[in-house]
Structure 1
Amino acid sequence: MSTLSDPLSLSAPRGADAGLTPQQLVAKYGLTVSGARPPLPKYVQQLWSRRHFIMSFATARLVAQYSTAKLGQVWQVVTPLLNCVVYFLVFGLILSGSKSIGNYVPWLCIGVFIFQFIQTAVQSGTRSISDSLGLIRALHFPRACLPIAFTIIQLQQLLISMVVLVGIVLASGITPGLSWLLVIPAIALLCLFNTGIALAMARVGAKTTDMAQLMPFILRTWMYLSGVFYSIERNIETWPKWIQLAADVNPAAVYMDLVRFAFDPSIDNRHSLPPHVWAVAVAWALVAFVLGFVFFWKAEEEYGRG
């Protein structure tokens, strides 16, 4: 009797196929292994054909995320605001970080909102496969749908929070300008970067489930090194050049700078955005997405097994 676990353990062939081996039968009828990894171009086509599923899945998960809380979707905005309040009290007032930065409140809030987008996208991407094993084993679809959908969930939360962020910026006396339009490509590049990192971490998290427990510590360290609530540049001016270069190309710092300077070119008392920032942002987005996507696709047939 044939079994699903071993597609070649077929019952004895009859008639014209009686003398053929299982391998010859496979070649004769063009059989393929169930769940085998498709070529990359075909995989991209399959993923695109499921785009409506990805959006529906992301929207449903977003609605269900706060369904048990009385304030519901309001927590999407309240959570980063509470973080802003805590960081302002500690770093802005107690440690006097606000003295070296003009318009410290919007500068801080932008940093918190942008880094939270990175943080939650990476964390949810890491758990996207291990938390969806039931769905993976029940249905056949490109597994990349899951980390991409979880990244879209975090993007939807960021877009909702941006409404509040704009209010904070306006209340701080910053007037709208054409530079505000640069927020759109900055967020788009950040979303591409987050998707690539989420895809890569989804494969790592699927193989090493303990990574989900380790990621909060890694992300917290990254946050402190990215200048979310204080200026990294001013604190490492006398440090070795290679450390300063590493801080300059830190992707989290790069994307925060793009959004901060888009809202107010003088928000950091520098009055101009370093010329390399946009090029670095594009490079990080493309490299992270391409490498993350290929890295995830390489293990496509392994997800949900074992």
Structure 2
Amino acid sequence: MSQALHTPPPAATTAPPAGAAREPRTPPDDLAALAARHGLTVSGARPALPAYVRGLWARRHFITAFATAKLTAQYSQARLGQVWQVATPLLNAAVYYFIFGVLMGTKHGVPDYVPFLVTGVFVWTFTQSSIMAGTRAISGSLGLVRALHFPRAALPVSYALQQLQQLLFSMAALVVILLCFGVPVSASWLLAVPALVLQSTFNAGVALIVARLGARTPDIAQLMPFVLRTWMYGSGVMWSLDHVLSDRDLPHPVLIALECNPAAVYIDLMRFALIDSFPASGLPPHAWAVAAGWALLAGVGGFIYFWKAEETYGRG
């Protein structure tokens, strides 16, 4: 005779009778106090600005090593390797010399046009490359951003440092070109150091700005080449703005904007420092003050702008 086994039914969950007291929920304020008492913080929360700066400084060795590794790997697949660090801006200068200097005749009236052009190309390439690298600093490193906890500003700063390292390699070729075209070594060459410091600060600040924009809207990286190309043409890289604008009746605000253009100011300061035929009259009024102002505005403003979105990077 078979015996049927029956599993007892599960106990029914009954709602508490009407009027029964429910267990009180812990208020959010008490939860916050409990978390603070045990040293718990929100994962990925944005730290205070002073703590953020200290965290970034603590990772300065990582920033330097990351920039050097990126620079070394940049041309690792090319046969000429690191030679392209110098060859690329030189080839750009050669193309610009043929198109603008020879075909368009912009070299007329500009003493030492080749040193003038090469200096402009090298300095502009530094700014251009820093900004382009900044647009992909976060969006191109999502694996690293999502895997490790560190101040995200380390990425755009390291990319800007990488471009500075590349410029320093290229400066050796620039010195050779200056000497070959008869530009003498002078004490004014020392002015290139503060000019590069100000430009590097400006570049890092703009890289931080576009890094936040690129993290939210990756299409910025596709639009930026057109913006930079327009900016280059208005910065006097291939021609002297004084000669081009001398016979044009432009509105005063346009002239002020061209004179205070940060890229043009940094290029002119480097030309004034390195080329003896580039006089102080070729500099815009208060050039050093304008350069310092742009560096302070972009460096500090860009850093704060990037920091304010710290907890959003790598999410969504």
- Structure 1: distance between partners of 2:106 and 2:282: 21
Given candidates 99, 116, 120, the residue that maps to 2:108 is 99
CA contact (8 A) 1:112 1:228 kept: yes
Percent identity between the two aligned chains: 57
After TM superposition, give the deviation of residue 231 of structure 1 in Å.
Answer: 1.4
Label 1:275 to 1:236 Cα distance change in 2 as closer, same or farther (>3 A).
closer
Instruction: Give the Cα separation in 2 of the matches to 1:55 and 1:143.
Output: 15
Read off the aligned partner of 2:31 and give its amino acid letter: L
In the TM superposition, what whole-angstrom CA distance separates every residue of 1:191-250 from its partner, at most 9, and x where no partner exists?
A: 000000000110000001000000000000000111100112222232222211111100
Cα deviation for residue 26 of structure 1 reads 3.5
Q: The residue matched to 2:184 in structure 1 has which SS?
A: coil
In the alignment, structure 1 residue 122 sits paired with structure 2 residue 128 = no
Give the Å deviation of 1:271.
5.7
Between 1:92-101 and 1:195-204, the stretch displaced more is 92-101
Runs of 4+ in 1 over 3 A off after TM superposition: 269-275
Counterpart amino acid of 2:34?
K
Q: How does 1:30-179 map to 2 (within 5 A)?
A: 30=36, 31-179=40-188
Q: Which amino acid aligns with 1:294?
A: I
Match for residue 25 of structure 1? 31
- Partners of 1:29 and 1:41 lie apart in 2 by 22
2:207 is equivalent to residue 191 of structure 1: no
Opposite residue 33 of structure 2, the aligned amino acid is: A
Moved more, 143-152 or 56-65: 56-65
**1:130–1:205 Cα contact (<8 Å) kept:** yes
* Alignment-derived partner of residue 288 in structure 1: 298
Instruction: Give the superposition deviation at 1:292.
Output: 0.2
**What is the CA deviation profile of residues 110-130 of structure 1, one whole-angstrom value per residue up to 9, with x for unaligned ones?**
000000000000000011000
Checking the alignment, whether the CA contact within 8 Å between 1:26 and 1:32 is kept in structure 2 is no
Query: Which amino acid counterpart does residue 161 of structure 2 have in structure 1?
Result: I
Tell me how far apart the structure 2 counterparts of residues 302 and 272 of structure 1 sit (CA, whole Å): 45
Amino acid at match of 1:252: A
Letter in 2 for 1:261: F
Do the aligned partners of residues 239 and 305 (structure 1) sit closer, same or farther apart at CA in structure 2, a change above 3 Å counting? same
Matched, 1:236 2:242: no
Counterpart in the other structure of 1:259: 270
Contact residue 153 and residue 208 of structure 2 kept, 8 A: yes
Asked if structure 2 preserves the Cα contact closer than 8 Å seen for 1:122 and 1:198, the reply is yes
The count of aligned residue pairs is 288
Shift of 1:109: 0.2
Residue 215 of structure 2 aligns with which residue? 206
2:268–2:282 Cα contact (<8 Å) kept = no
Q: Equivalent residue of 1:100, what SS?
A: coil
* Distance in 2 of aligned mates of 1:286 and 1:211: 24
Q: Which amino acid aligns with 2:164?
A: L
Q: Which amino acid aligns with 1:220?
A: R
Contact 1:126 1:211 in 2 (8 A): yes
How far is the alpha carbon of 1:162 from its aligned partner?
0.3
Task: Return the letter of the residue paired with 2:26.
Answer: T
Asked if structure 2 preserves the Cα contact closer than 8 Å seen for 1:123 and 1:215, the reply is yes
Are the counterparts in 2 of residues 76 and 157 from structure 1 also a CA contact under 8 Å? yes
SS in 1 for 2:47: coil
User: Any idea what the Cα deviations from partners look like across 1:121-145, whole Å, max 9, x if unmatched?
Assistant: 0000011000000000000000000
